[in-house]
Structure 1
Amino acid sequence: MFGPDPFAAAMSKDQIVSLIPEYLAMSQAFPYLRAGSQKDLVFAAMHTNRDLPRHVELTSVVANFICWDETGGHSRVLRAGNAALPDILATEQFHSNLFRKDASRLLGGAVKPNYSPTTKRYLHSLYAGLSSKDPVVRCAYMVAFELHAAEMIQSLSATVGRRS
Protein backbone atom coordinates (compact mmCIF):
# COMPACT_ATOMS: atom_id res chain seq x y z
CA MET A 1 0.00 0.00 0.00
CA PHE A 2 2.86 2.40 0.79
CA GLY A 3 5.40 1.15 -1.72
CA PRO A 4 8.82 -0.38 -1.16
CA ASP A 5 11.03 0.58 1.75
CA PRO A 6 12.93 3.63 0.50
CA PHE A 7 16.14 2.49 2.17
CA ALA A 8 16.11 -0.82 0.29
CA ALA A 9 17.71 0.88 -2.74
CA ALA A 10 20.91 2.90 -3.02
CA MET A 11 20.36 6.45 -1.86
CA SER A 12 22.20 9.72 -1.95
CA LYS A 13 23.09 11.55 1.23
CA ASP A 14 20.39 14.14 0.45
CA GLN A 15 17.78 11.40 0.16
CA ILE A 16 18.86 9.93 3.50
CA VAL A 17 18.75 13.37 5.11
CA SER A 18 15.20 13.91 3.83
CA LEU A 19 13.92 10.49 4.98
CA ILE A 20 15.36 10.36 8.49
CA PRO A 21 12.84 12.96 9.80
CA GLU A 22 10.05 10.73 8.40
CA TYR A 23 11.42 7.78 10.37
CA LEU A 24 11.67 9.97 13.45
CA ALA A 25 8.02 10.98 13.04
CA MET A 26 6.96 7.32 12.87
CA SER A 27 9.12 6.42 15.86
CA GLN A 28 7.79 9.32 17.88
CA ALA A 29 4.13 8.69 17.06
CA PHE A 30 4.06 4.92 17.43
CA PRO A 31 3.76 4.44 21.21
CA TYR A 32 1.04 7.09 21.42
CA LEU A 33 -0.94 5.54 18.59
CA ARG A 34 -0.42 2.08 20.07
CA ALA A 35 -1.68 3.22 23.49
CA GLY A 36 -4.53 5.30 22.07
CA SER A 37 -5.81 2.51 19.87
CA GLN A 38 -7.06 0.69 22.93
CA LYS A 39 -9.56 3.44 23.75
CA ASP A 40 -11.71 2.60 20.72
CA LEU A 41 -12.02 -0.98 21.94
CA VAL A 42 -13.09 0.12 25.42
CA PHE A 43 -15.56 2.65 24.02
CA ALA A 44 -17.07 -0.07 21.82
CA ALA A 45 -17.64 -2.23 24.90
CA MET A 46 -19.07 0.76 26.77
CA HIS A 47 -21.36 1.66 23.87
CA THR A 48 -22.83 -1.85 23.75
CA ASN A 49 -22.69 -2.27 27.55
CA ARG A 50 -20.67 -5.46 27.19
CA ASP A 51 -17.70 -6.93 28.95
CA LEU A 52 -14.31 -6.63 27.27
CA PRO A 53 -13.63 -9.81 25.33
CA ARG A 54 -10.52 -11.84 26.11
CA HIS A 55 -9.04 -11.03 22.70
CA VAL A 56 -9.06 -7.34 23.65
CA GLU A 57 -7.33 -8.13 26.94
CA LEU A 58 -4.69 -10.19 25.16
CA THR A 59 -3.82 -7.63 22.52
CA SER A 60 -3.95 -4.84 25.11
CA VAL A 61 -1.45 -6.49 27.41
CA VAL A 62 0.94 -6.94 24.48
CA ALA A 63 0.30 -3.35 23.38
CA ASN A 64 0.99 -2.02 26.85
CA PHE A 65 4.25 -3.95 27.03
CA ILE A 66 5.31 -2.58 23.64
CA CYS A 67 4.54 0.97 24.80
CA TRP A 68 6.48 0.34 28.02
CA ASP A 69 9.42 -0.85 25.94
CA GLU A 70 9.19 2.03 23.42
CA THR A 71 9.29 4.58 26.24
CA GLY A 72 12.37 3.03 27.84
CA GLY A 73 10.71 1.48 30.87
CA HIS A 74 11.49 -2.14 30.11
CA SER A 75 15.25 -1.65 29.67
CA ARG A 76 15.48 0.47 32.82
CA VAL A 77 13.75 -2.15 34.97
CA LEU A 78 15.85 -4.93 33.43
CA ARG A 79 19.02 -3.05 34.38
CA ALA A 80 18.11 -1.81 37.85
CA GLY A 81 14.86 -3.47 38.91
CA ASN A 82 12.07 -1.52 40.55
CA ALA A 83 14.61 1.00 41.87
CA ALA A 84 14.67 2.37 38.30
CA LEU A 85 10.97 3.25 38.29
CA PRO A 86 11.50 6.92 39.24
CA ASP A 87 13.77 7.21 36.19
CA ILE A 88 10.93 6.51 33.74
CA LEU A 89 10.37 10.27 33.67
CA ALA A 90 13.73 10.70 31.93
CA THR A 91 12.24 10.74 28.44
CA GLU A 92 15.60 10.80 26.70
CA GLN A 93 15.40 6.99 26.88
CA PHE A 94 12.30 6.88 24.65
CA HIS A 95 13.27 4.95 21.51
CA SER A 96 12.34 7.96 19.38
CA ASN A 97 14.62 10.21 21.42
CA LEU A 98 17.49 7.72 21.19
CA PHE A 99 16.95 7.66 17.42
CA ARG A 100 16.81 11.47 17.31
CA LYS A 101 20.12 11.66 19.20
CA ASP A 102 21.81 9.18 16.85
CA ALA A 103 20.35 10.86 13.75
CA SER A 104 21.44 14.30 14.95
CA ARG A 105 24.96 13.05 15.51
CA LEU A 106 24.97 11.34 12.11
CA LEU A 107 23.61 14.37 10.25
CA GLY A 108 25.59 16.94 12.23
CA GLY A 109 22.61 18.92 13.52
CA ALA A 110 19.21 18.82 15.14
CA VAL A 111 16.63 16.52 13.56
CA LYS A 112 12.92 17.21 13.88
CA PRO A 113 10.14 14.83 12.92
CA ASN A 114 8.48 15.36 9.56
CA TYR A 115 4.84 14.30 9.47
CA SER A 116 4.59 14.46 5.68
CA PRO A 117 1.34 13.50 3.94
CA THR A 118 2.68 9.98 3.28
CA THR A 119 3.79 9.52 6.90
CA LYS A 120 0.47 10.82 8.20
CA ARG A 121 -1.43 8.48 5.87
CA TYR A 122 0.71 5.56 7.07
CA LEU A 123 0.19 6.43 10.73
CA HIS A 124 -3.58 6.87 10.32
CA SER A 125 -3.75 3.49 8.57
CA LEU A 126 -1.66 1.92 11.32
CA TYR A 127 -3.95 3.36 13.99
CA ALA A 128 -7.04 2.05 12.21
CA GLY A 129 -5.59 -1.45 12.15
CA LEU A 130 -4.33 -1.35 15.73
CA SER A 131 -7.78 -0.26 16.94
CA SER A 132 -9.76 -2.69 14.77
CA LYS A 133 -12.59 -4.47 16.54
CA ASP A 134 -11.63 -7.58 14.55
CA PRO A 135 -9.03 -9.41 16.69
CA VAL A 136 -7.35 -11.00 13.67
CA VAL A 137 -6.91 -7.64 11.93
CA ARG A 138 -5.70 -6.01 15.17
CA CYS A 139 -3.18 -8.77 15.83
CA ALA A 140 -2.03 -8.78 12.20
CA TYR A 141 -1.34 -5.04 12.35
CA MET A 142 0.60 -5.47 15.60
CA VAL A 143 2.79 -8.21 14.15
CA ALA A 144 3.15 -6.55 10.74
CA PHE A 145 4.22 -3.25 12.28
CA GLU A 146 6.87 -4.90 14.44
CA LEU A 147 8.21 -6.87 11.45
CA HIS A 148 8.13 -3.75 9.28
CA ALA A 149 9.90 -1.71 11.95
CA ALA A 150 12.65 -4.32 12.21
CA GLU A 151 13.04 -4.32 8.41
CA MET A 152 13.15 -0.51 8.31
CA ILE A 153 15.79 -0.37 11.03
CA GLN A 154 17.93 -2.95 9.21
CA SER A 155 17.52 -1.14 5.88
CA LEU A 156 18.34 2.23 7.41
CA SER A 157 21.41 0.84 9.15
CA ALA A 158 22.65 -0.87 5.98
CA THR A 159 22.04 2.24 3.86
CA VAL A 160 23.83 4.54 6.29
CA GLY A 161 26.65 2.01 6.54
CA ARG A 162 27.06 1.97 2.77
CA ARG A 163 27.20 5.78 2.69
CA SER A 164 29.82 6.02 5.48
Structure 2
Amino acid sequence: MHDLESAESVAREIDRITQAAHPVHPFELALPPERLEPILAEYLAVTTALPYIRAGAVGLIAFDRMATGDEFEPSDDLTFAMTMMAAWHEIGGTRLVLECGTRGLPLILDTGEHFDSSLLRLDVSRLLGKDVQASFSPVTRRYLFRLHAGFADLDIIGRAAFLVSQHTHATRMLTALIARIRDAYGVSAGQLAYFNLHVDDPTHASRTETLLGMIPRAVPPSHADDFYQRYEAAYTLHTWWCESITTL
Protein backbone atom coordinates (compact mmCIF):
# COMPACT_ATOMS: atom_id res chain seq x y z
CA MET A 1 0.00 0.00 0.00
CA HIS A 2 1.50 3.32 -1.08
CA ASP A 3 0.91 6.60 0.67
CA LEU A 4 0.17 10.19 -0.33
CA GLU A 5 0.99 11.81 2.98
CA SER A 6 3.14 14.67 1.70
CA ALA A 7 4.94 16.12 -1.29
CA GLU A 8 8.11 14.41 -0.03
CA SER A 9 6.51 10.96 0.12
CA VAL A 10 5.00 11.41 -3.34
CA ALA A 11 8.41 12.49 -4.69
CA ARG A 12 10.11 9.40 -3.25
CA GLU A 13 7.52 7.02 -4.63
CA ILE A 14 7.39 8.46 -8.15
CA ASP A 15 11.19 8.48 -8.29
CA ARG A 16 11.24 4.81 -7.29
CA ILE A 17 8.57 3.93 -9.86
CA THR A 18 10.27 5.90 -12.61
CA GLN A 19 13.69 4.38 -12.07
CA ALA A 20 12.27 0.86 -11.85
CA ALA A 21 10.12 1.15 -14.97
CA HIS A 22 12.40 3.38 -17.04
CA PRO A 23 16.00 3.13 -15.83
CA VAL A 24 17.25 4.63 -19.12
CA HIS A 25 15.50 7.40 -21.04
CA PRO A 26 15.65 7.20 -24.86
CA PHE A 27 17.50 10.52 -25.01
CA GLU A 28 20.07 9.27 -22.49
CA LEU A 29 21.37 6.88 -25.14
CA ALA A 30 23.90 7.99 -27.73
CA LEU A 31 22.26 9.46 -30.83
CA PRO A 32 23.84 10.08 -34.25
CA PRO A 33 24.04 13.84 -34.88
CA GLU A 34 21.81 13.55 -37.94
CA ARG A 35 18.98 12.22 -35.76
CA LEU A 36 18.82 15.44 -33.75
CA GLU A 37 17.31 17.56 -36.54
CA PRO A 38 14.02 15.60 -36.74
CA ILE A 39 13.96 15.21 -32.95
CA LEU A 40 14.28 18.97 -32.44
CA ALA A 41 11.56 19.67 -35.02
CA GLU A 42 9.18 17.31 -33.20
CA TYR A 43 10.17 18.77 -29.83
CA LEU A 44 9.41 22.24 -31.19
CA ALA A 45 5.95 21.03 -32.22
CA VAL A 46 5.14 19.80 -28.72
CA THR A 47 6.54 22.95 -27.11
CA THR A 48 4.41 25.09 -29.43
CA ALA A 49 1.18 23.19 -28.81
CA LEU A 50 1.51 22.45 -25.10
CA PRO A 51 0.12 25.68 -23.54
CA TYR A 52 -2.82 25.61 -25.96
CA ILE A 53 -3.53 21.99 -25.07
CA ARG A 54 -3.48 22.78 -21.37
CA ALA A 55 -5.94 25.64 -21.82
CA GLY A 56 -8.25 23.53 -23.95
CA ALA A 57 -8.20 20.68 -21.46
CA VAL A 58 -9.39 22.75 -18.49
CA GLY A 59 -12.08 24.21 -20.72
CA LEU A 60 -13.47 20.73 -21.42
CA ILE A 61 -13.69 20.04 -17.70
CA ALA A 62 -15.63 23.28 -17.22
CA PHE A 63 -18.03 22.45 -20.07
CA ASP A 64 -18.68 19.01 -18.54
CA ARG A 65 -19.53 20.55 -15.17
CA MET A 66 -21.90 23.00 -16.87
CA ALA A 67 -23.56 20.26 -18.92
CA THR A 68 -24.15 18.00 -15.93
CA GLY A 69 -24.99 20.77 -13.50
CA ASP A 70 -22.40 19.41 -11.08
CA GLU A 71 -20.50 21.68 -8.76
CA PHE A 72 -16.84 22.26 -9.46
CA GLU A 73 -14.92 20.10 -7.01
CA PRO A 74 -11.99 21.42 -4.93
CA SER A 75 -9.83 18.99 -6.88
CA ASP A 76 -10.95 20.72 -10.10
CA ASP A 77 -9.69 24.00 -8.70
CA LEU A 78 -6.37 22.45 -7.68
CA THR A 79 -5.64 20.88 -11.05
CA PHE A 80 -6.82 24.04 -12.82
CA ALA A 81 -4.36 26.09 -10.76
CA MET A 82 -1.48 23.74 -11.56
CA THR A 83 -2.37 23.54 -15.25
CA MET A 84 -2.51 27.31 -15.62
CA MET A 85 0.71 27.75 -13.64
CA ALA A 86 2.45 25.46 -16.11
CA ALA A 87 0.98 27.29 -19.13
CA TRP A 88 1.92 30.68 -17.64
CA HIS A 89 5.47 29.43 -17.23
CA GLU A 90 5.55 28.15 -20.82
CA ILE A 91 4.57 31.53 -22.26
CA GLY A 92 7.21 33.35 -20.21
CA GLY A 93 4.97 34.83 -17.55
CA THR A 94 6.83 33.47 -14.55
CA ARG A 95 10.17 34.81 -15.72
CA LEU A 96 8.83 38.24 -16.70
CA VAL A 97 7.19 38.84 -13.34
CA LEU A 98 10.22 37.48 -11.48
CA GLU A 99 12.62 39.75 -13.38
CA CYS A 100 10.46 42.86 -13.89
CA GLY A 101 7.66 42.70 -11.33
CA THR A 102 4.32 44.05 -12.51
CA ARG A 103 6.12 46.08 -15.19
CA GLY A 104 6.79 42.77 -16.91
CA LEU A 105 3.11 41.99 -17.47
CA PRO A 106 2.71 44.04 -20.70
CA LEU A 107 5.78 42.31 -22.11
CA ILE A 108 3.82 39.06 -22.30
CA LEU A 109 2.42 40.45 -25.57
CA ASP A 110 5.90 40.20 -27.11
CA THR A 111 5.25 36.54 -27.77
CA GLY A 112 8.12 36.17 -30.21
CA GLU A 113 10.56 37.02 -27.44
CA HIS A 114 9.12 35.23 -24.44
CA PHE A 115 7.13 32.14 -25.40
CA ASP A 116 9.08 28.92 -24.85
CA SER A 117 8.33 27.92 -28.43
CA SER A 118 9.79 31.18 -29.80
CA LEU A 119 12.99 30.83 -27.80
CA LEU A 120 13.32 27.16 -28.75
CA ARG A 121 12.83 28.00 -32.44
CA LEU A 122 15.74 30.47 -32.20
CA ASP A 123 17.95 27.85 -30.54
CA VAL A 124 17.12 25.14 -33.09
CA SER A 125 17.69 27.50 -36.02
CA ARG A 126 21.05 28.46 -34.57
CA LEU A 127 22.08 24.85 -34.03
CA LEU A 128 21.04 23.72 -37.50
CA GLY A 129 22.05 26.88 -39.33
CA LYS A 130 18.64 27.31 -40.97
CA ASP A 131 15.04 28.14 -40.22
CA VAL A 132 13.16 25.16 -38.81
CA GLN A 133 9.44 24.48 -38.82
CA ALA A 134 7.65 22.54 -36.09
CA SER A 135 7.00 18.98 -37.28
CA PHE A 136 3.61 17.62 -36.32
CA SER A 137 4.28 14.09 -37.53
CA PRO A 138 1.60 11.40 -37.02
CA VAL A 139 3.36 10.12 -33.90
CA THR A 140 3.58 13.62 -32.40
CA ARG A 141 -0.04 14.38 -33.24
CA ARG A 142 -1.05 11.13 -31.56
CA TYR A 143 1.00 12.04 -28.50
CA LEU A 144 -0.51 15.53 -28.28
CA PHE A 145 -4.06 14.17 -28.53
CA ARG A 146 -3.31 11.74 -25.72
CA LEU A 147 -1.77 14.52 -23.64
CA HIS A 148 -4.93 16.56 -24.10
CA ALA A 149 -7.09 13.61 -23.07
CA GLY A 150 -4.97 13.11 -19.95
CA PHE A 151 -5.09 16.75 -18.90
CA ALA A 152 -8.87 16.78 -19.53
CA ASP A 153 -9.57 13.48 -17.72
CA LEU A 154 -12.76 13.89 -15.70
CA ASP A 155 -11.33 11.42 -13.19
CA ILE A 156 -9.11 13.36 -10.82
CA ILE A 157 -6.79 10.38 -10.40
CA GLY A 158 -5.91 10.21 -14.09
CA ARG A 159 -5.74 13.99 -14.45
CA ALA A 160 -3.36 14.41 -11.52
CA ALA A 161 -1.20 11.52 -12.74
CA PHE A 162 -0.82 13.15 -16.15
CA LEU A 163 0.10 16.53 -14.69
CA VAL A 164 2.78 15.06 -12.46
CA SER A 165 4.17 12.65 -15.04
CA GLN A 166 4.47 15.34 -17.70
CA HIS A 167 6.43 17.59 -15.36
CA THR A 168 8.80 14.94 -14.03
CA HIS A 169 9.39 13.46 -17.47
CA ALA A 170 10.05 16.89 -19.02
CA THR A 171 12.83 17.55 -16.51
CA ARG A 172 14.59 14.29 -17.34
CA MET A 173 13.99 14.62 -21.07
CA LEU A 174 15.40 18.15 -21.20
CA THR A 175 18.51 17.19 -19.25
CA ALA A 176 19.20 14.31 -21.61
CA LEU A 177 18.47 16.36 -24.73
CA ILE A 178 20.93 19.05 -23.66
CA ALA A 179 23.61 16.36 -23.29
CA ARG A 180 22.93 15.09 -26.82
CA ILE A 181 23.10 18.66 -28.18
CA ARG A 182 26.44 19.16 -26.48
CA ASP A 183 27.72 15.89 -27.97
CA ALA A 184 26.55 16.76 -31.50
CA TYR A 185 27.21 20.49 -31.71
CA GLY A 186 29.68 21.26 -28.93
CA VAL A 187 27.26 23.84 -27.53
CA SER A 188 26.34 24.09 -23.85
CA ALA A 189 22.95 25.09 -22.46
CA GLY A 190 24.43 28.40 -21.33
CA GLN A 191 24.98 29.38 -24.97
CA LEU A 192 21.32 28.89 -25.88
CA ALA A 193 18.22 30.85 -24.93
CA TYR A 194 15.51 28.26 -24.29
CA PHE A 195 17.78 25.60 -22.87
CA ASN A 196 19.62 28.00 -20.58
CA LEU A 197 16.36 29.30 -19.11
CA HIS A 198 15.23 25.77 -18.29
CA VAL A 199 18.53 24.59 -16.86
CA ASP A 200 19.02 27.70 -14.75
CA ASP A 201 15.40 28.07 -13.63
CA PRO A 202 15.14 29.49 -10.11
CA THR A 203 11.47 28.52 -9.89
CA HIS A 204 11.82 24.84 -10.83
CA ALA A 205 12.19 23.48 -7.31
CA SER A 206 9.27 25.48 -5.92
CA ARG A 207 7.03 24.62 -8.88
CA THR A 208 7.86 20.93 -8.46
CA GLU A 209 7.16 21.07 -4.73
CA THR A 210 3.85 22.84 -5.37
CA LEU A 211 2.78 20.29 -7.97
CA LEU A 212 3.63 17.32 -5.77
CA GLY A 213 1.98 19.05 -2.81
CA MET A 214 -1.24 19.12 -4.79
CA ILE A 215 -1.47 15.32 -4.81
CA PRO A 216 -2.24 14.72 -1.10
CA ARG A 217 -4.92 17.44 -1.34
CA ALA A 218 -6.52 16.26 -4.59
CA VAL A 219 -6.23 12.46 -4.51
CA PRO A 220 -8.01 10.51 -1.76
CA PRO A 221 -5.56 8.36 0.27
CA SER A 222 -7.58 5.24 -0.59
CA HIS A 223 -6.70 5.82 -4.27
CA ALA A 224 -2.93 6.00 -3.79
CA ASP A 225 -2.22 2.72 -5.60
CA ASP A 226 -4.42 3.76 -8.52
CA PHE A 227 -2.65 7.12 -8.75
CA TYR A 228 0.81 5.57 -8.89
CA GLN A 229 -0.27 3.00 -11.47
CA ARG A 230 -1.66 5.76 -13.67
CA TYR A 231 1.45 7.83 -13.12
CA GLU A 232 3.59 4.98 -14.44
CA ALA A 233 1.30 4.51 -17.46
CA ALA A 234 1.40 8.23 -18.27
CA TYR A 235 5.19 8.37 -17.88
CA THR A 236 5.42 5.42 -20.26
CA LEU A 237 3.47 7.42 -22.84
CA HIS A 238 5.99 10.28 -22.65
CA THR A 239 8.96 7.95 -23.10
CA TRP A 240 7.15 6.17 -25.95
CA TRP A 241 6.94 9.47 -27.81
CA CYS A 242 10.62 10.20 -27.21
CA GLU A 243 11.66 6.75 -28.39
CA SER A 244 9.39 7.02 -31.42
CA ILE A 245 10.83 10.32 -32.67
CA THR A 246 14.39 8.98 -32.50
CA THR A 247 13.55 6.71 -35.43
CA LEU A 248 11.69 9.19 -37.69
Instruction: Compute the TM-score of the two structures, normalised by the length of structure 2.
Output: 0.63
Partner of 2:222: none
**What do the CA deviations read for 1:57-90 (whole angstroms, capped 9, x no partner)?**
1100111111111000110011111111111101
- Give me the whole-angstrom Cα distance separating, in 2, the residues matched to 1:102 and 1:120: 23
Q: Give the whole-Å Cα distance in 2 for the aligned partners of 1:5 and 1:32.
A: 26
Give the letter aligned to residue 73 of structure 1: G
Whether 1:96 aligns to 2:128 is no
1:53 matched to 2:88: no
Alignment partner of 2:100 out of 80, 85, 107: 80
Q: Does 1:159 align with 2:175?
A: no
| Separation (CA, whole Å) in 1 of partners of 2:109 and 2:174 | 26
Q: CA RMSD in A?
A: 1.4
Structure 1 gap ranges (5+): none
Change (3 A) 1:34 1:78: same
Secondary structure in structure 1 of the residue aligned to 2:127: helix
Q: Which runs of 4+ in 1 moved over 3 A?
A: 3-6
| Correspondence for 1:144 among 158, 162, 165 | 165
Write the mapping of 1:1-164 to structure 2, written as runs, cut at 5 A.
5-91=25-111, 92-163=113-184, 164=186
Q: Distance in 2 between matches of 1:68 and 1:19?
A: 25
Q: Which amino acid aligns with 1:113?
A: A
Number of equivalent positions: 162
Task: Specify the SS of the correspondent of 2:140.
Answer: helix
Q: In structure 2, how many angstroms separate the alpha carbons of the residues matched to 1:122 and 1:17?
A: 19
User: Any gaps of 5 or more consecutive residues in structure 2?
Assistant: 1-21, 187-248
Residues 116-153 of structure 1 deviation map (CA, whole Å, 9 limit, x = unaligned): 01111111111101000011110110011111111211
- CA shift, 1:5, in A, is 4.9
After TM superposition, give the deviation of residue 7 of structure 1 in Å.
2.3
